[in-house]
């Protein structure tokens, strides 16, 4: 059986403006790879309700899982929860279990839970909460959409909470061979190798180091024996290449 598929939706004007560098995609891709879930697409959208709803509707129909990051905080521009509710045509309001989590958290801090903080307890009807051991405010899962914070430390904690609830497939393995040749030199043998191993994926990533052109060839797949065989054949074709 093929591995489950996933998409990621990154939400926030700060990403598109260049003010903030997104780190969550890199982290999620690595965790999904280890869990046997294939990340197939990543989109970045602004804090625009129509754009968020359209992207969620498209991605949740195309992939087994959708992971969102950003837009579930206490400020006016945190509109993700409302957009998810709209995409699923679900009511949304402050939910008792989410409110209790926040109340306990702010009681421990000696901080008052005000109207703004209560926004983080607004959960669409039918959703399951995602634990947030870092800052308490929960994410949530509705259908196949997992809604999480944008702050990397919180996002990572939420991913750790979600992954055990997802059935994964075979972990994707990878090996890399560094070849100090241009892509034009390796294209033909690499194509032949890819055609001989349709169960594996082959990526060619050129670089320039100290004025020398080279290519990192990455082979990925779930069959370790096939991966080893393909890598050996590639190494034989380019003596002197290094892993």
| 5-165 CATH fold | Molybdenum Cofactor Biosythetic Enzyme; Chain A (3.40.980)
Question: What's the half-sphere exposure (Cβ side, CA atoms, 13 Å) at 102?
Answer: 24
Name the β-bridge partners of 212: 209
pLDDT in tens, the chain (243 residues): 789 999 999 999 999 999 999 999 999 999 999 999 999 999 999 999 999 999 999 999 999 999 999 999 999 999 999 999 999 999 999 999 999 999 999 999 999 999 999 999 999 999 999 999 999 999 999 999 999 999 999 999 999 999 999 999 999 899 999 999 989 999 999 999 999 999 999 999 999 988 889 999 999 999 999 999 999 999 999 987 787
pTM of structure:
0.88
| 173-237 CATH fold | Alpha-Beta Plaits (3.30.70)
For residue 215, what are its two tokens?
């290519």
Instruction: Compute φ and ψ for 80, nearest 5 degrees.
Output: -60, -45
- Which of 162, 34, 59, 170 is closest to 11 using CA atoms? 59
Indicate the domain borders of the chain. Answer: 5-165, 173-237
Contact 121, 95 (CB under 8 A): yes
For residue 94, what are its two tokens?
């402050």
pLDDT number for residue 1: 76
């Amino acid at each position: 059986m093929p591995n489950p598929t996933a998409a990621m939706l990154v939400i926030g004007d700060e990403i598109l403006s260049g003010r903030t560098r997104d780190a969550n995609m890199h982290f999620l891709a690595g965790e999904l790879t280890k869990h046997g879930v294939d990340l197939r697409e990543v989109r970045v959208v602004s804090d625009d309700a129509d754009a968020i709803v359209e992207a969620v509707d498209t991605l949740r129909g195309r992939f087994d899982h959708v992971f969102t990051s950003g837009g579930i905080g206490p400020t006016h521009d945190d509109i993700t929860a409302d957009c998810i509710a709209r995409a699923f045509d679900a009511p949304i309001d402050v939910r008792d279990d989410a409110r209790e989590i926040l109340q306990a958290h702010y009681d421990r801090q000696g901080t008052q839970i005000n109207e703004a903080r209560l926004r983080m307890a607004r959960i669409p009807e039918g959703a399951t909460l995602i634990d947030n051991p870092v800052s308490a405010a929960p994410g949530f899962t509705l259908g196949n959409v997992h809604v999480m914070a944008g702050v990397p430390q919180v996002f990572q904690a939420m991913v750790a909470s979600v992954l055990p609830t997802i059935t994964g497939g075979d972990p994707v393995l990878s090996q890399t061979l560094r070849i100090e040749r241009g892509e034009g030199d390796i294209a033909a043998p690499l194509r032949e190798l890819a055609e001989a191993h349709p169960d594996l994926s082959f990526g060619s990533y050129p670089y320039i180091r100290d004025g020398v052109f080279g290519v990192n060839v990455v082979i990925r797949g779930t069959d370790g024996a096939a991966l080893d065989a393909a890598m050996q054949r590639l190494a034989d074709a380019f003596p002197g290449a290094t892993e």
